[in-house]
């Protein structure tokens, strides 16, 4: 039950923007019980995006979340690339076009823009891959899309954080299954992480858990995250490590 | 002349940590004239890391920068995975071991840790892929590594931002070639990005440049980045867009 995240945008590859979107998506998917196995970022380039989508589909994740590149400009090419990667055409979503029209009319009335007309760039946003379900954008113009391909649930979201977050909460999470994988975050009272290593290794071997420990410099605590399919196994692993002399506190 | 970035860490895939490292690395590489074509993130898992390194090497970037997973705990497996991906053994770097020993002795004397001994986790950090050059870590214990494989320059850096940044500046950038690709950031005074689209498209067709425009909501400016191999071509593209009625201001 694993997921992948694909973020798209030249600004992410020049380092002009820190990709906080993929962290937000990863956190939500992890809370929901998904194991995010890989995150990838490519630029606003149809061929690059197609190539990476095909690679991801070959790995057969249960869920693929794509974010970025849905806007009205020449470098917003994500929907076209998704359609081509899936061997589909782009088709006009009539209700999307109506919503986009109303969106710009509203902005015009409020005095935010000079011109409410649907130019080519604005119309472009109403085209989705054939067979995809539009996802409502409550915060902006461009709709997202949901489609399934070869057993992979594919969600295409905008890159503007406010739009992406609202769409993820309202349109994506309700379409995902229930939590099957949980994590427990703890603080281990110990002066140096390297002393923990043999105890963590033994816990991973004995119990059905994965453990991540995070360097916090050389302070009083080491952050430890125990991942497992059930709370019981996680508690057993924790109890085992406590027997070996680790003192845990709650929190992170 | 393109580069790829690989960041490693379970905390990046659970969304517990925002991957600001890859943005920092991307910014430095872009300034240096490299086109960062893809960023990938995988967890602390030897098989996953090996797999993705092999995929990246198949794409033959000029430079691959890897960050994360060099510490002393059981989940710091990056050097092992790099070695295995390249078909090399891990070998002890004696000067690295001496430096690590001195590093912990210093921390012990300063009262930061209870025990200066080189346990297994600490020793592990002195093992690098056969033939790799150690990269000095001025801010922490774990050395990085530099090696070449099939024409790809591979740099392996720590994941702690302070350590990674210092090593990138001191050890990586001096080993990279001169700038061959530059970018010019501008602000376009226009009320809506979609009106820019046809002008940007024409500029890209006429000149040897790539152009990225970044949605800033519906404010007064649209951020525009023009990428090219020389300043002259960028200035021509800018002048062309100005003739078409776009008013640029400097800054971002």
pLDDT, position A89 = 96
Note whether B73 contacts A25, CB cutoff 8 Å.
Answer: no
- Return the minimum-mean-pLDDT range out of A10-14, A212-216, B23-27, B144-148: A212-216
User: Model ipTM?
Assistant: 0.81
Q: Using an 8 Å CB-CB cutoff, list chain A residues near B211.
A: 74-75
Summarize pLDDT for A34-69 with one digit per residue, the tens.
889 999 999 988 889 999 999 999 999 999 999 999
Q: For residues A21 and A159, what is the distance between their CA atoms, to the nearest angstrom?
A: 8
Residues 6+ away with beta carbon under 8 Å from B166: B137, B138, B139
DSSP bridge partners of B213: B224
What are the start-end ranges of the H helices in chain B? 10-13, 20-31, 46-58, 78-85, 94-109, 120-124, 161-167, 193-206, 231-243
pLDDT, position A217 = 46
Which one has a higher pLDDT value, B223 or B104?
A: B104
**B15 in contact with A at a CB cutoff of 8 Å?**
yes
Nearest chain A residue to B110 by CA distance is A218
Q: What is the mean pLDDT of chain A?
A: 91
**A105 in contact with B at a CB cutoff of 8 Å?**
no
Any idea which fold A182-250 has? Alpha-Beta Plaits (3.30.70)
Nearest chain A residue to B55 by CA distance is A55
Q: Give the pLDDT band of residue B234 (cuts 50, 70, 90).
A: very high
A220 pLDDT more than 70: no
B27 pLDDT more than 60: yes
Q: Where are the domains of chain B?
A: 2-175, 182-250
Q: Using an 8 Å CB-CB cutoff, list chain A residues near B112.
A: 191, 218
The domain over range A2-175 is classified in CATH as 3.90.550.10: no
pLDDT, position A252 = 60
Q: Give the pLDDT band of residue B93 (cuts 50, 70, 90).
A: very high
User: Which residue in the set B30, B75, B213 is minimally distant from A213, CB to CB?
Assistant: B75
**A244 in contact with B at a CB cutoff of 8 Å?**
no
Nearest chain B residue to A2 by CA distance is B13
**B123 in contact with A at a CB cutoff of 8 Å?**
no
Q: Same fold for the domain at B2-175 and the one at B182-250?
A: no
Summarize pLDDT for B145-154 with one digit per residue, the tens.
999 999 999 9
Say what angle helices B231-243 and B193-206 make with each other, to 10 degrees: 130
pLDDT, position B217 = 46
**A191 in contact with B at a CB cutoff of 8 Å?**
yes
* Residue range B19-23: mean pLDDT, rounded: 97
**B226 in contact with A at a CB cutoff of 8 Å?**
no
* Beta strands in chain A, from DSSP E residues, in sequence order: 2-8, 35-42, 63-67, 90-92, 127-129, 133-135, 144-149, 152-157, 182-189, 209-214, 221-228, 247-250
pLDDT, position A179 = 62
**B89 in contact with A at a CB cutoff of 8 Å?**
no
- Return the minimum-mean-pLDDT range out of A137-141, B20-24, B179-183, B225-229: B179-183
Note whether B36 contacts A23, CB cutoff 8 Å.
Answer: no
Instruction: Tell me how close the Cα of B192 comes to any Cα of chain A, in angstroms.
Output: 7
CB B29, CB B6: distance < 8 Å: no
């Amino acid at each position: 039950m694993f997921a992948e995240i694909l973020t798209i945008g030249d600004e992410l590859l020049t380092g002009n923007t820190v990709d906080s979107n993929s962290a937000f998506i990863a956190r939500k998917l992890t809370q929901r019980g998904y194991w995010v196995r890989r995150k990838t970022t490519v630029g606003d380039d149809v061929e690059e995006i197609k190539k990476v989508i095909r690679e991801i589909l070959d790995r057969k994740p249960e869920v693929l979340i794509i974010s970025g590149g849905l806007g009205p400009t020449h470098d917003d090419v994500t929907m076209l690339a998704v359609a081509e990667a899936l061997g589909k055409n782009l088709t006009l979503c009539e209700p999307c076009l109506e919503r986009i029209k109303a969106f710009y009319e509203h902005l015009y009335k409020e005095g935010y823009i000079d011109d409410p007309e649907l130019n080519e760039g604005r119309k472009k946003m109403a085209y989705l891959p054939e067979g995809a379900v539009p996802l409502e954008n409550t915060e902006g113009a461009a709709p997202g899309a949901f489609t399934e391909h070869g057993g992979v649930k594919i969600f295409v979201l905008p890159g503007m954080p406010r739009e992406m977050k609202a769409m993820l909460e309202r349109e994506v999470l309700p379409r995902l299954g229930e939590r099957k994988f949980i994590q427990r975050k703890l603080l281990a009272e110990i002066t140096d992480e390297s002393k923990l290593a043999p105890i963590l290794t033994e816990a991973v071997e004995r119990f059905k858990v994965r453990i991540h420990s995070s360097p916090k410099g050389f302070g009083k605590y080491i952050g430890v995250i125990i991942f497992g399919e059930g709370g019981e196994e996680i508690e057993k692993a924790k109890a085992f490590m406590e027997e070996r002399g680790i003192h845990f506190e709650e929190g992170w």
